[in-house]
Structure 1
Amino acid sequence: MSSILIIPCKFIHHKNSPVMRYVALVCLLTVFSFQKNTPPKLSPEHQKALESLRVMEGFSVEMVAAEPLIADPVAMEVDENGDMYVVEMHGYPLDVSGSGKVKLLKDTDNDGYPDKSIIFADKLTLPTGIMRWKNGFIVTDAPDVLYLEDTDNDGKADIRKKMLSGFALSNPQHNLNTPRFELDNWIYLGHEGAVTPFVFKKEFGDKGTDIIFPDKPSAARLAPNANGKAVRFKPDSYELEELSGRTQYGHSMDAWGHHFYTSNANHIYHEVLANTYIKNNPALLVPNATQNISDHGEAAEIYPITETPNHQLLTDVGVITSSCGITWYEGGAFGEKFNNVTFIAEPVHNLVHADILREAGASFTASRLNEKSEFLASKDAWFRPVNFYVGPDGALYVIDYYRQIVEHPEWMSDEITQSGALYNGTDKGRIYRIVPHKGLPMNWLGKLNLSKKSAPELVALLDHENGWYRRTAQRLLLHRQAKEAIPALHALLKKSKFSEAKAHALWLLDGIQAIEKEDILQALKNETAGVRENGIRVAERYLNAAFGKELINELTALQNDESPKVRFQLLNTLGLVKTAESEKARLAILQRDIYDRWAGLASIASFAGKENQIFDVAIAEFTNKPTAETSEFIANLASTIAGGENKTGFSEMMKKIMAEAPGTEAWKAAALNGVANRLQFQKEKGTVLLSEPEKEKLLAHFSPTATSELRIASLRLLEISGFPKGKRLDEKIVQAISALKNPSTLTRQGSNIAVYRAHAIAFLSMVNSNELKSILQQALTQKEPEVVQLAALKALGKTADAQTYRFLLNEMKGFAPALKKEAVNVFLSKPERINVLLKAIETKEVEKSIVGWQQMVRLMNYYDTDIRAYARKVLSVNEDRKAVLQKYMAALELKGSQSKGQLIFEKNCATCHQIEGVKGVNFGPDLSTLRSRNANSVLTEIINPNNSIADLYDFWTLELKNGSTVAGIIAQENTNNISLREMGGIVSVIQKKDIAKMQKAEQSIMPNGLENAISLQEMADLITFIKKQ
């Protein structure tokens, strides 16, 4: 039955906005004909699916669309006229033949719900996202970003062109995705590095090429596959930029432009430091520009209600393992509690998880919205939420891929891949609509007509509570370059009580080249921090304008702003202003915020070439209040100074480090470690610009009275720079030898004599003392503290010869476990030594079991192919994995003990893995992510690690130009640097210019054979511990 609706004001504009009075009744009362908001009758199957859902109290769920109207939906968009478009990815997981589609959904019976679909575009490979742009749509479909347009109004795209190209066509879970038009008039793309396939190399082995605009190759371009980072671009001006973070499937921004990402087990993290500012200081090495913000951790525990999970799915309690589709809710219809809420889809667990975000310095903290339940969950094991959309009505639209299996066969057993079930559900798919119990009218489909609104009417929509209207209006006005909107935009900036509207107006004025000085000044003085923050960003674009000097004065006046995020943005922006006033303001902010690591990094970036100006501030604050944050800041600062072009600045810093002053040992140690970290991978050691007197002062720290931190940091740098020559060095050698031969003489000179003697061994190995070998062998054959013996073994690794190999092979059998491990490391340090060890194992001179699990990982993945083959031959285990698995199936029938399983984990797994973010080393995947699988699946992963190689855990060996090698997992990468997480969890930042060769292991880091160290009962205990049962 038809009726006339006068839309309630709260769904059209912010209730306090006087701008709506400026634009009389045009948007305040929008009138159109529509059917009463009654959802159509569902089929029994769809009704059952709807009834299987449980939503947070205060909300209800409706089904908006389902098969046969749609199938395999992954994304949707609603254009300015209310037309609804849905992206279908039929090809997942293996079909790259071009089965993907975009459908236009129509309401032909005028009940407000779609009942007809038209194929708008087809022959897409694996489409992942859609966004309205001008008269068409941007669709992400690796390797391309496509523009599709229907010019003859038949509902089908007749224009298809590539806007960007070069992205890797990798595993579908990791391709570029989710184009979003954002507040600053840029289009943002979700993206991360290509995943190396071991099984489906033909389909997904593409690594990508340079990212280019195909219709203008001479325009801006990015490195191959954008270095695995997210990307933003402006099609009209051919601007293209690599961001500092990466995301898997989905990304989102809040109302102020803060950018949030998601990835499998890490469901929410924040890009804090933008690449734009990092690039201001090429000498600054930033291991990671994003902040994990969940206060309930990675692989966070969640609460599914699935009734009949199959063997790939969850039991009653699991952890996040498949996070995707992150969406900041700004629909304005869920109540004040939801003003700072994000949603993530968790398809493996059949649920939607929600977090509420709170300010935390330059970043945020994300806490559970509900403590022991989820925002939405289903009893149906095929319910697969993968994405969301906040509609024109403020409702949250949940996109349900609806498949039996959503894990990719790259990481599943052959049995599952060959079962025929991979595409079960490919003819199905649903879109749900979540609304408050009071309801929201479904009255927008095909009936919005924003394209016909005048410029003042669209400006009025910038004042809307619902972000959909604000972004849509901004996009339309930007496309029109609507100069006639300027008076209304100025009025909105002056009079609106809705802060978000002011941010949109500000950026829109910038986008249509109509901004004035007063617009920016108003924003900088606004009472809302988000408006001031965006005012600073916009001001940054006009620093060189005629009124730029006045802007700079206003910017520097903000140095004492009460908001940490305003001060953080000010640090970044003022880094572009090379004046004394700017430097003074940045120093003031640093002094206030030095305990926020992001403020420290921003300060270093902003003082490019003048880092010494903040060194005094750093050491003063550290002396007053030493913390881990200030220690990290000083190390980063010293590293940057050491890596910069300003050699005078480096000398000045070293003079301050050398100056004698009480209470300075801690910051000096931090600074020296920062320098050593930066220079350890340089091509030629001994090239650090240290004078002989400076070297002698560093050498003076080799003393039993110095702190152990300062002593070892000084020795690290001396090993790189070269030791001083002459009498002082000889005296220290004698002192070290005496400490080792006659430790009783040291009892009154220091509190930790054993550590000092260990450092004495390290020192003697660095200077190649002639007496070292006998001292080391004596230390290993006599009763000495373990720390001394470990140091002796490490020193042997630098001096070993054939005689030493024979000594170690004879003695190591009787070593304690920690010493035995280090003795094997001596052999693993050089290729020729590895062959000696493998030969001894092959001839049974030493037992194969002497090689620890982590060491076996290194050998099985060694970069030298001959050594790798020899190791796999000598250390071979039962390669009939099916037989081994069958044997250990008996463990599943035994009762396991969590406490005993923890001991097994700590002994055999913790060297590479954590569980729940603790209890081990952050190197391989967190094993709590296996908790979601049944015991059979967990056992399979342990027995046959090559059955499921975790994505983003490729093992790389880097041969450096200085002759050394390092190996690990690439944690982050940008144009200049690689952050490598080595075994042990240590992250090293290595400049690409120092790398000679990179080689990736072809198999799982974890080799077969763990079962040799674990009995059936111990396996039962380990699985019980992992599954927390």
Structure 2
Amino acid sequence: GLKDIPDPDPIKQAAAFNLPEGMEIQLVASDPMIAKPVQMNFDSRGRLWLVSSGMYPHIVPGAEENDKVLILEDTNGDGIADKRTVFADNLHIPTAVLPADGGAYVANSTEIIFLKDTDGDGKADQRRVVLSGFGTEDTHHIVHTFEQGPDGMLYFLQSIYIHSHLETPYGVRRLMGGGIWHFRPETQRAEILSKGLINPWGFIFDEHGQTFATDGAGGHGINDIFPRSVFRTSPGAKRIVDGLNPGQPKLCGLEILSGSHVPEKFRGVLIAPDFRGHRINAYRLNPEGSSYNSTRIDDFLSSSHRAFRPIDVKMGPDGALYIADWYTPIIQHGEVDFRDARRDHSRGRIWRVTFKGQPLIEKKDFSKFSIKELLAHTISKERIHREQARNELRTRTDVLPELSTWSSKLTDNFSRMQAMWNHQAVNHTAINLIKSLISSDDPRYRAAALRVIYHRHEEVTGATDIIKK
């Protein structure tokens, strides 16, 4: 077993990184400001939200629940978090957070809750259960990994040993193993997007709305996720889809490098933490038939520090890449006893990767923008700005009239696709945009429109005939 416990000094850990030429890394936050970051996401103001679980992997008998949702801010623009707010505490092994819809969605073991600050003090004073009935058979398999799609829905994952039975207005929805869910907050509708995988812990949309996942216990690298796809270990599956990289490391988290700050050679590359190997792997995808081929390329970065455990990666509002480092000398899995004294419960780091000679993008507070300004930013060249603007649109009232007028003036496929998603994000179906894109000569735009039809076919007149064409 491991006896040589590495020095926890962040300065020594920073010196242990192996970085490609032109790349720099900076410590954003460390203990005691944060501890055990599980997942992170940015809000429309550019603040970093994360869930922190020092209790993991189980609560000590007699102990109080003390896990938290934290908000980190860099108030002077130097890249280092200098303000921390405890948005919520008394949580039980939270595994995901998504700031959205005027509050934050949090995965809290058996349930997904919505937290909201109504008096402006920065702390949640309202707590509402959104969905419940998720299994708890294994704490590293419970419901996790929140991603807001361009369609405005909340996507989340669960893993192989979890058996979920959700009561919804549309009936009971069950998932008896690993898989990926989507949830429409306005209607409370929860459905399964894909089944299977062993311990999926990464999920992402690409530039044209296609979805991919990684598996923390599987060995197939990147997985091409599409509606009703079924992967290994799904109970009773008669046919399965394999991942794109058989024999690859087990991965946790997933991001696509994007934005003008990222050098051209890296844009579009998928990166995924190999938490066992103290590194972040990189993959390049190319279309192949109705799916993709995926080629593993040189590691994005690695570390010789044995406590570096990257588990989440996110593009930030400044164009830099942010890494959540669970920080522990032993693997936080089932290989080591839950009560092993080497398990770390108090440390954690957030790292920030930037590129020399590449200007950062302007960090913006979209909460101060008008609807007109938000719509303009949904067709920005910067993907992070498009996502932040679209998420902010969901918090506004009477968006549809201005959105419809704006959409009618767009002529290129890229802008029309963003507009189609804007409509979806505010729970409206833009039939004309769908028909325009489904007839595009570019298969990427046809696929984007087809995905919308899948989710909203009841509102698309002649959907079956459109698909046949």
TM-score (norm 2): 0.87
Q: Distance in 1 between matches of 2:457 and 2:74?
A: 50
Instruction: Give the 3 Å change call, closer, same or farther, for CA 249–362 of structure 1 in structure 2.
Output: same
322, 331, 352: which one pairs with 1:406? 331
Q: For residues 83 and 453 of structure 2, what CA distance do their matches in structure 1 show? A: 48
Question: Which of the residues 162, 167, 170 maps onto 1:212?
Answer: 167
Runs of 5+ unmatched residues, structure 1: 1-43, 195-206, 279-284, 301-319, 556-572, 575-584, 586-1029
**Cα drift, residue 513 of structure 1:** 6.2
1:253 matched to 2:174: no
Q: Does the CA-based 8 Å contact 1:404-1:421 persist in structure 2?
A: yes
Relative to total residues, which structure has the larger helix share, 1 or 2? Answer: 1
**Is residue 44–residue 366 contact of structure 2 (8 Å, CA) maintained in 1?**
yes
What amino acid is the match of 2:256? Answer: W
Instruction: Indicate which of 243, 264, 267 corresponds to 1:292.
Output: 243
Matched to 1:450, the amino acid is F
**Residue 143 of structure 1, CA deviation:** 0.7
Q: 1:113 aligns with which of 74, 80, 100?
A: 80
Match of residue 65 from structure 1: 29
User: Per the alignment, in what secondary structure is the counterpart of residue 172 of structure 2?
Assistant: coil
Mapped to 1, the partners of 2:12 and 2:214 lie a distance apart of 31
Instruction: State which of 194, 211, 230 in structure 2 corresponds to 1:244.
Output: 194
Partners of 1:428 and 1:516 lie apart in 2 by: 47
- 1:399–1:418 Cα change, 3 Å: closer
> Is the contact made by 1:231 and 1:241 (CA closer than 8 Å) also made in structure 2?
yes
Q: How does 1:789-800 map to 2 (within 5 A)?
A: none
**Which residue number in structure 1 is paired with residue 3 of structure 2?**
none
Amino acid at match of 1:293: L
| Contact 2:110 2:134 (C-alpha < 8 Å) held by counterparts | yes
Shift of 1:542: 7.1
TM-score w.r.t. structure 1 length? 0.41
2:308 matches 1:383 = yes
Per-residue Cα deviation, 1:328-383 (whole angstroms, up to 9, x for no partner) = 3334432333333111111221111111111122221111122xxx2111111111
- Residue equivalent to 2:349: 430
- Matching residue of 2:342: 421
Distance 1:102 1:544 in 2: 38
Cα deviation code 1:49-71 (max 9, x no counterpart)? 21211122232111111122111
Matches within 5 A, 1:276-291: 287-291=238-242
Give the distance between the partners of 1:543 and 1:383, measured in 2 at CA. 46
Q: Give 1:532's aligned residue.
A: 446
Report the secondary structure of 1:251's partner residue: strand
Q: How does 1:861-872 map to 2 (within 5 A)?
A: none
Cα distance between partner residues in 2 of 1:236 and 1:61: 40
1:375 counterpart letter in structure 2: F
Root-mean-square deviation (Å): 2.8
Aligned position for 1:343: 271
Deviations 1:511-531 (A, max 9, x none): 446655532332123343221
The count of corresponding residues between Structure 1 and Structure 2 is 450
- Counterpart of 2:319? 394
The alpha-carbon deviation at position 189 of structure 1 amounts to 0.5
* Matching of residues 533-572 of structure 1 within 5 Å: 533-539=447-453, 548-549=461-462, 555=466
Deviation at 1:77, TM superposition (A): 1.9
Where does residue 399 of structure 2 map in the other structure? 482
Distance 1:427 1:226, change over 3 A: same
- CA shift, 1:185, in A, is 2.7
Given that 2:27 and 2:80 are in contact with CA atoms closer than 8 Å, whether structure 1 keeps it comes out as no
Question: Is 2:70 the counterpart of 1:103?
Answer: yes
Q: Is the CA contact 1:255–1:330 (under 8 Å) kept in the aligned structure 2?
A: no
Q: Does 1:90 align with 2:54?
A: yes
5+ residue gaps, structure 2, are 1-7, 231-235
Structure 2 counterpart of 1:270: 223
SS in 1 for 2:165: coil
* 1:224-268 C-alpha deviation (Å, 9 max, x unpaired): x55442211112102111222345222222122222222224253
Aligned partners of 2:202 and 2:254 also within 8 Å = yes
> Conserved in 2, the CA contact under 8 Å of 1:459 and 1:489?
no
Tell me the residue number matched to 2:5. Answer: none
- Give the 3 Å change call, closer, same or farther, for CA 536–249 of structure 1 in structure 2: closer
Structure-2 change in CA distance of 1:256 and 1:287 (3 Å)? farther
Indicate how the Cα distance of structure 1 residues 527 and 457 shifts in structure 2: closer, same or farther if over 3 A, else same.
Answer: farther
Deviation at 1:548, TM superposition (A): 3.3
Checking the alignment, whether the CA contact within 8 Å between 1:486 and 1:514 is kept in structure 2 is: no
- SS at the partner of 2:286? strand
Report the Cα offset of residue 388 of structure 1. Answer: 0.8
The question of whether the paired residues in 2 share the 8 Å contact of 1:220 and 1:239 is answered with no
User: The residue matched to 1:451 in structure 2 has which SS?
Assistant: helix
Aligned to 2:11: 47
Q: Deviations over 1:554-608 (max 9, x none)?
A: x3xxxxxxxxxxxxxxxxx44xxxxxxxxxx6xxxxxxxxxxxxxxxxxxxxxxx
More strand by share: 2
For the Cα contact (< 8 Å) 2:324–2:351, is it kept in 1? yes
Amino acid at match of 1:153: G
Equivalent in the alignment of 1:78: 42
Q: Which amino acid aligns with 1:253?
A: F
Conserved 8 A contact 2:285-2:295: yes
Q: CA deviation at 1:212?
A: 2.4
1:173 to 129, 140, 143: 140
Q: Return closer, same or farther for 1:511/1:345 CA change in 2, 3 Å cut-off.
A: closer
Aligned pairs for 1:973-988 within 5 A: none
1:418 CA drift (Å)? 6.1
In structure 2, distance between residues paired with 1:173 and 1:150: 29
* CA separation of 1:211 and 1:364: change in aligned 2, threshold 3 A: same
Q: Is the 8 A contact 2:49 2:99 kept in 1?
A: no
* Residues in 2 aligned to 1:512 and 1:162: alpha-carbon distance in whole angstroms: 22
Quote how far apart the aligned CAs of 1:209 are. 4.8
The one-letter code matched in structure 2 to 1:435 is T
Deviations 1:863-889 (A, max 9, x none): xxxxxxxxxxxxxxxxxxxxxxxxxxx
Question: Which has the higher Rg, Structure 1 or Structure 2?
Answer: 1
Quote how far apart the aligned CAs of 1:291 are: 2.9
